Amino acid sequence: MRRTTMKRSIRPSALFLLFLFALPAAHAEEAGAYLWPAPHSRIVSQGYAPRAHEAIDIAGRLGDSIVASGSGTVIYALTGCKNTDGLQTGIRCGTRAGCSKRSVANHPLDGFCNYGFGNGVVLRHSDGAYTVYAHFSYVDPSLRRGRRVEQGLYLGDMGTSGRSAGVHLHFSVTAPRSPGFTKNRLDPAEVFPPFVYVATAGATEITAHSARLEGVFSFLGPVPEQVGILMGESPSLLALSPEYLDTEFPDLTYMKMVYDVDNIGGWPLRPGATYFWQCYAIQNGRMELGEIKRFTTLEDSP
């Protein structure tokens, strides 16, 4: 999982109202051919990289449901991996309980259970494309090779089996008429609508005149043009303070931003005052907002 922490100091923008009202209204995502396979998470912890990681990793909680991204036929229902904590790795599968014998000697990932995929499912779709869902903690036992499944059908639970360092779904998709599920793998950003996930994390290190605000941002598709926070003394009077995503991280899909704030629009924070704030991101001219939260500065010491 790749994470970058960036510290910023809040700075006012004289054009914030003009900029804010010039933004287009948020609109519903158009449905694509494929359904997002992790209904409970939009955190892309690792993106697609040709020849290195031809998939995306979607982070979530142990037990989160995974669904079929498209209608298709079960090619493999991979089970038998007991290393759901991600610790049973680097061994010969034939010598340890819970390691599937699908792993063979001399395979690059031998010892990581099911070639490193752990428990999971492989589907073949009507156009000859494949989708792969890996690292499950649980696979629906009704899934058998040759079974027809419909888009959105429950496949199993998110986990960290196989070659995995944390709870996530490893998802890959191939081009149509692919000769196999490890061939001609596409960037999933080509088959899902682009999105930005924004989470207003929390306020820490609060003093009488300052606070540290944290946000989490994740995206699929184009790098956001801008991320930052909105802040004000009431939820209806949030002021825009632009903060920009560093362009030296063009492949970044997950980041934690830290903002040290001591003013709003040039006005210092006041002791014992309550402030509202939320994170935002702009992708393709569209603004996505996180939850509105509040914090109260400390009273000045006598």
Per-domain boundaries in the chain: 5-27+193-296, 43-190
At the second CATH level, the architecture of 43-190 is: Distorted Sandwich (2.70)
238-296: pLDDT as tens digits = 765 555 444 444 457 888 888 889 988 788 999 999 999 998 888 888 889 999 999 99
5-27+193-296 has which CATH code?
2.60.40.10
What average pLDDT score do residues 122-135 get?
A: 95
Instruction: pLDDT band for 108, please (50, 70, 90 cuts).
Output: very low
Q: For 152-174, give the secondary structure using H, E and C.
A: CCEEEEEECCCCCCCCEEEEEEE
Query: Tell me, what DSSP letter sits at residue 300?
Result: P
184-231: pLDDT as tens digits: 999 998 899 989 899 988 899 999 999 999 988 899 888 888 888 888
State both tokens at 297: 């500065």
- Sign of the Cα torsion 38, 189, 172, 58 reads negative
Look at residues 167, 165, 162, 141 and name the one whose alpha carbon lies nearest to residue 83.
Answer: 162
C-alpha 100/C-alpha 159 separation (Å) is: 17
